[in-house]
A and B are shown apart, each in its own frame.
Chain A
Amino acid sequence: MKSPRVLPGFPLALGYTLVYLALIVLIPLSAVFLKSATLSGEQFWAIISAPRVVSSYRISFGISLLAAAINTVFGLIFAWVLVRYRFPGRRIVDALVDLPFALPTAVAGIALTALYAGNGWLGQWLQLAGIQAAFTPLGILVALTFIGLPFVVRTVQPVLEDLDIELEEAAASLGADRWQTFLQVILPVLSPALLTGFALAFARAVGEYGSVIFIAGNVPLVSEITPLLIITKLEQYDYVGATAIAVVMLVFSFTLLFLINGLQIWTHRRHGRITG
């Protein structure tokens, strides 16, 4: 039903929103695409498929996927413990889950490096076991896991909180044990949220720069991430090269953003149907 507009300010609010969005976000982002359009198709392809660039995709996307997967498993356990169990200090643990959002990435980067370096609190034990974490791809995995940690916890937590106890009681009364209930009743309800959290953590990890560069070692072909490659090209005044790689990353991020949006709409619908 369409009702006549009673409230004032629509043209001003929407106009301001659109102008500000265009000036800060849309026009500047279009610069990347316009700049790369000065390249011929062949030149563009040569830049984005150079061996050093391709290996940076493998490192960035591969390790980000792995970190997001780790976060999905541990994020679910974490959310479960926070929602279902009481223990002393639970509120503090709950609040600190957001630390990776709040802590500047450069601080996280140097802290993780100090922690995992050969003489660090954890690094010295790992070294005894023959594992070197800092300045290797394993270090990148540690940093990206840290960065993505809150996403899965924070998307799963509210769904778990709203889950009706009747659902699980019914499963139990029909003879399901706790594990069967989890697999066949709880997990299907949580899966859209898990998938959303996974995608958010993955998207964040792919673009991450600050927390990674300190711990990565940044060896070309081994531990050089794509965002760092863009910076390297910029420092060599290779604006065209930096822009071409940026286009690849942007196309990927935008695709993922629209997938995540679709997922969230789906989650709301499913979630609404089950609890409401």
Chain B
Amino acid sequence: MSAHVAARWTTPAQRFEKNAATREPAWVKAALMTVALLFFGLFLLLPLATVFAEALRKGWQVYFAALAEPDARSAMVLTLLVAAIAVPLNLIFGLAAAWAIAKFDFRGKQLLTTLIDLPFSVSPVIAGLIYVLIFGAQGWFGPWLIENDIKMIFAVPGLVLATVFVTFPFVARELIPLMQAQGREEEEAAIVLGASGWKTFWYVTLPNIKWGLIYGVVLCNARAMGEFGAVSVVSGHIRGRTNTLPLHVEILYNEYQFAAAFAVASLLALLALLTLVIKSFVEWQGRQSMHTSQNISEVIQ
């Protein structure tokens, strides 16, 4: 028992390295570390550093001018707007899907879970194409939309739809396994004791899934703000009107305004870094609460 507890508080690395039987020769360790860190530097660190180096190549003045430019600012506003619509929609969906799948038994559950993951395996380009086929001028609703003067494709609604599609599974796939692991007893107890369904959800379920929820929303938001392929198909690239930040980066880059392109790109890179920081923090929180509950259950036993 005490060995068990001790094992939990030492990291796997410490355990394996202390034991001569499970330790690699020093030269093997050095070689593996070198390969891994070289790969890390080459494929992760250098591209990231390049973004900031290129952005500041012509100095801070050019950098800020590129960000303050009206087209860049309208791209920022549009990116925020699209994410502000797409993320809450997928958050509500994720909660509904996880509640149905984790708390009830029904036939076809495995199939439904697989279908929710479907958008991840579809190329972003095809995610854009499908909405063109439905709402484009030659699409199913094309003539009707033109008659009623409603713009879906090459307009904001198309951008939102394409973004909703590519970020569809993020919240659901975080919540489903989490809520399945937590079981139903706590909610059932609350209901039996007379709490309403909504009260049970707010006071029992939500606090339990808080970290998983934040995790899913943060990842969903990062993808929503950074999506390129899908929105590229439905946007029409109208400057100041249907250009999100990633599309604005592309336009600047294709016009050989490299410093400006990388300046806007550096904003998105900062967003990515912020996402990773929040993600690591949430994972750490999750591990902490797991340790606590494990210890509590050990004490009880």
Contact = CB atoms under 8 A, between A and B. Distances in A.
B125 A7 contact: no
A205 B138 CA distance: 30
B291 to A, nearest CB: 14
A243 B139 CA distance: 12
Interface stretch (A44-52, A86-94, A187-195): A86-94
A163 B13 CA distance: 12
Interface string A146-176: 1001000000000001010100110011000
Most A CB atoms within 10 A — which of B44, B131, B184, B227? B44
23 contacts: A6-B191, A7-B103, A7-B197, A17-B112, A29-B130, A86-B14, A93-B40, A99-B48, A106-B250, A107-B226, A111-B48, A111-B51, A114-B50, A114-B258, A161-B12, A165-B15, A172-B22, A230-B129, A239-B138, A242-B129, A253-B121, A253-B123, A261-B114
Contacts of B131: 28
B285 to A, nearest CB: 14
A6 B188 contact: yes
Contact of B19 (A8, A78, A165, A214): A165
B165 A231 contact: no
Interface in B176-216: 184, 187-188, 191-192, 197, 200-201
Given A14-B96, A78-B40, A81-B37, 12 more contacts: A6-B188, A6-B192, A7-B191, A8-B197, A28-B134, A29-B130, A85-B13, A93-B37, A97-B44, A105-B228, A107-B269, A254-B118
Interface of A: 2, 5-10, 12-14, 16-18, 20-21, 24-29, 31-32, 35, 74, 77-78, 80-87, 91, 93-108, 110-112, 114-115, 120-122, 145-146, 149, 161, 163, 165, 168-169, 172-173, 178, 203, 206-210, 214, 227-228, 230-231, 234, 237, 239, 242-243, 246, 249-250, 253-254, 256-258, 261
Nearest to B106: A14
A230 B44 contact: no
Contacts of A94: 280
Contacts of B233: 231, 234
B104 A95 contact: no
A210 B246 contact: yes
B130 A32 contact: yes
Contacts of A207: 121-126
B43 to A, nearest CB: 5
B279 to A, nearest CB: 7
Interface of B: 11-17, 19, 21-25, 28-29, 32-33, 35-37, 39-40, 42-48, 50-51, 54, 92-93, 96-97, 99-101, 103-106, 112, 114-119, 121-126, 129-134, 136, 138-140, 161, 164-165, 168, 184, 187-188, 191-192, 197, 200-201, 219, 222, 225-229, 232-233, 245-247, 249-250, 253, 258, 261-262, 265, 268-269, 272-273, 275-277, 279-280
Most B CB atoms within 10 A — which of A99, A203, A234, A249? A99
Given A84-B17, A172-B22, A249-B126, A209 B191 contact: no
Contacts of B192: 6
A249 B103 CA distance: 35
Nearest to B14: A86
A249 B247 CA distance: 24
Contact of B132 (A10, A16, A93, A239): A239
A13 B122 contact: no
Nearest to A60: B123
Nearest to B47: A111
B227 A104 contact: yes
A253 B118 CA distance: 9
Nearest to A211: B228
Given A242-B129, A258-B114, A146 B122 contact: no
Contacts of B99: 9, 13
Contacts of A242: 129
Contact of B50 (A16, A111, A145, A258): A111
A145 B39 CA distance: 11
Contact of A253 (B42, B122, B168, B191): B122
A107 B51 contact: yes
Contact of A227 (B39, B125, B265): B125
B97 A31 contact: no
A30 B97 CA distance: 22
A110 B253 contact: yes
Contact of B17 (A16, A77, A85, A112): A85
A28 B122 CA distance: 12
B97 A96 contact: no
A203 B115 CA distance: 16
B245 to A, nearest CB: 8
Contacts of A246: 123, 125-126, 129
